[in-house]
Amino acid sequence: MQLDQSNGAGKEPSEVVSRYLEAIYYMWSEKEPLRSSRLADWLSVSRPTVAVGLRRMTRDGLVRMNSRKEIELTDAGMRSAEAIVRRHRIMERWLTDALGLDWVTADAEAARLEHAVSDVVERRLYEVLGRPKTCPHGNPIPGYTEPVEREVRLSSLREGDRASITRVSEVAEREAPPLLAYLHQRDLTPGREIVVKETDEVGKTLAVNVAGRVVTLSDATASKVWAVPAPGRRGGRDARVR
């Protein structure tokens, strides 16, 4: 894949704008409605603060509002957002693979370091690390890896379904670090094969067999984990093809 390193905006975005772009990209990749109120919650800032930031980003050609009053990245905004996310995920790989940090610590440290990494260092790290395809949590590295097709959330699976975990949602990474640690400790990690043992529609829980043991997940937790169903899957709740 040919990697386009330009962001199309003429200059590197500020750290504040970078945080906005990164959050918007993560919500877009999780197919969340991109509303300013949700962005304010994600960034832990007030709605007026987000409104001011979005006006500036609209002026700079990075975002626009669609007819549903949802935020959209322009082509230039998408290139800038992808560059930020790419650096973050490559830094995470270095921090986990080379330095041995755990998932939660690596994500927090990568957020601090990503703004100080140049394109030269980013590309060199990518090569030294063996050209990884994803971050430690399985999310694709923009510019190097395409999203996995036919992904569904674990919460959409039904009893008897088999699937291979592909990634953990960015929502878990940024908004619920304890959940990230919880999933890691229970082997609900990319590459693991799971079998759904039981679904409880009333209690909104899902019991899966993973790595030789049964783990029960709430519907909210199961929705933070993505997987590719095995052939012959019967289908599930809210299943979607990417």
* Domain boundaries defined on the chain: 1-147, 152-229
Q: For the domain 152-229, what is the CATH code?
A: 2.30.30.90
- Mean pLDDT for all residues in the chain: 87
Model pTM? 0.83
Which of helix, strand or coil describes residue 168? strand
Q: Are strands 225-229 and 162-168 parallel, antiparallel or unpaired?
A: antiparallel
**Short-list 167, 175, 172, CA closest to 221:** 172
Q: What is the pLDDT of residue 204?
A: 86
**pLDDT at res. 231:** 84
Task: Give pLDDT tens digits for 136-190.
Answer: 989 999 999 888 888 999 999 999 999 999 999 887 767 677 888 889 889 999 9
Report, as an integer, the average pLDDT of 190-194: 95
- Are 171 and 181 spatial neighbours (Cβ–Cβ below 8 Å)? no
Nearest to 13 by CA among 92, 76, 107, 91: 76
CATH of domain 1-147: 1.10.10.10
Q: Which helix (H) or strand (E) holds 218?
A: strand 213-218
Tell me the pLDDT tens digit for each residue of 95-104. Answer: 999 999 998 8
